[in-house]
Amino acid sequence: MSHKIKLKVFSIVSIGLFLISLTLSINDLYADSLCHGHFVNPITDICWECLFPITIGSTPVVPSDLPDTSNPSSPIGVCGSPPRIGVNIGYWEPVALTDVTPDPYCLVNMGGVKLNIGGSGNGGKQARTPADSGAFYYVHWYKYPLIYWLQIITSLACFQSDQFDIAYMTELDPTWNDDELATVLNPEAILFGNPIAQLACAPEAARSVVNSLPMDSLFWCAGTQGSLYPLTGTVADEKSPLESAVKLSERMDFKMHRELLLQDSIGKDQAVCYTYPSAIMPKSRYRYQLVNTIPEADHCYPFGHMVATWELGHNDLTSGNESGFLVWRKKNCTFL
C-alpha cells in the first residue's frame, strides 16, 4: 500500500475518531473491567486481499484464490434514463463491523469502552451452571463504508456511501433475549429451528470445512455453526466463545436482511444498476474477518465456514469473550 494511501487512511481515522468524540459525550463512555477491544486499524487489521477478485463482466482482472459468486456475462452495462453506458464490475466491499459481547453496551470495536446508558440491557441468560452449555451475547452492527472513505472506487453507483454509524444495538431490541417473542415476528423459525430441518444442513456443513461458498437455497443454515434461528442472542450449545461469536455475527446479518435494513445487488445483468432490499439473505455474497480482540488480517472466510480451522491462537482468554468482525459483501455494479 503506498505512503499516500497510508496517510489518507490515518487522516480518515483521525477525523472519524474526532467525529465519534463529538457524537458521544465523554459522560456517556466509561472504562469497564469486563469490556475489552481496540479501534480497528485500517492498515494492520484489514485483510485487503479480501477485496478480490475484481472482475469486469465475468472476466477476473485481479484474480484471487477466494471463492467468488457469479458475475454479469457482459462487460458493458446500460443504466438510467436517459441511458448511460458503463462497465460492469464485481468486487468484495467491507460494509460493516459487528461487536459480539456478553457485557451489555460494550463497544468492542470502539476501543473497548462501555456506553453509560444505565440498566443492563434486556438481560439474557447470563448466569451459568456447570451443566449448562448455553450462552447469550449482545451484538452491535456498525456501518463501515471503508471503500467510500478511501475513495478507491469513485463511481457513486459502486460503493456504499453511508457515514460511520452504530446502526443496531440488540440491547434495545426486546426480541433479542426472548425466543418466543422472536418466533412471533419470524414464525418460519418453527419450521427451520428444529433437528429435522437441521439434517438438511448437512451438505452445507460438509462444504464449510473448506473455502466453499455456502448454499443460498438452505437459507436457514449456517454451515457447521448450525441454525440461524431463532433470531436472538441465545446459543443453545456453545462449543467455543469464538464459534458462538461468528454464529451470532452471521445471525445478525441475517436478521438485518429479514427486517429489510440491508440492500443487495445480485450479479445478473438486469440488476447491476441499483440495489434493493432482500428479506432472505444471500449467504454466498458475504465473508467475515476477525478484527477483535486478536485480529486475523491475512484471511477472511465464507459465511458458515468452520471456525475450528482458524480459531487456534485467536481465543483471548483475558478478553471476557468479546469479539469483533468485519463483514464483507459482494458488490456488482455498473461503473459509470
Say yes or no to pLDDT of 7 above 50: no
CB 40 within 8 A of CB 326: yes
Mean pLDDT, the chain, integer: 81
Q: Is the pLDDT of residue 154 over 80?
A: no
Strands 59-62 and 54-56: antiparallel
Q: 68: which residues sit within 8 A by CB, 6+ positions away?
A: 53, 55, 60, 90, 330
More confident residue, 28 or 104: 104
Identify whether the C-beta of residue 89 lies closer than 8 Å to the C-beta of residue 335: yes
Residue 10: pLDDT over 70: no
- Condensed to tens digits (0 to 9), the pLDDT of residues 204-230 reads 999 888 888 999 999 999 998 888 999
Q: Say what the pLDDT of residue 138 is.
A: 95
Contact 37, 110 (CB under 8 A): yes
Q: Is the model's pLDDT at 183 over the cut of 70?
A: yes
Closest CA to 335 of 24, 57, 9, 17: 57
Number of neighbours of residue 79 by Cβ within 10 angstroms: 16
Q: Give the model's pLDDT for residue 4.
A: 42
Task: Give the pairing of strands 234-235 and 165-169.
Answer: unpaired
Total domains, the chain: 1
What kind and span of H or E run contains 19? helix 3-23
Tell me how far apart the alpha carbons of residues 69 and 89 are, in angstroms, rounded to a whole number. 12
**98 neighbors 320 (Cβ within 8 angstroms):** no
pLDDT in tens, 72-120: 888 998 887 888 888 888 999 999 999 999 999 999 999 999 988 765 5
**Residue 303 is part of which domain span?**
3-335
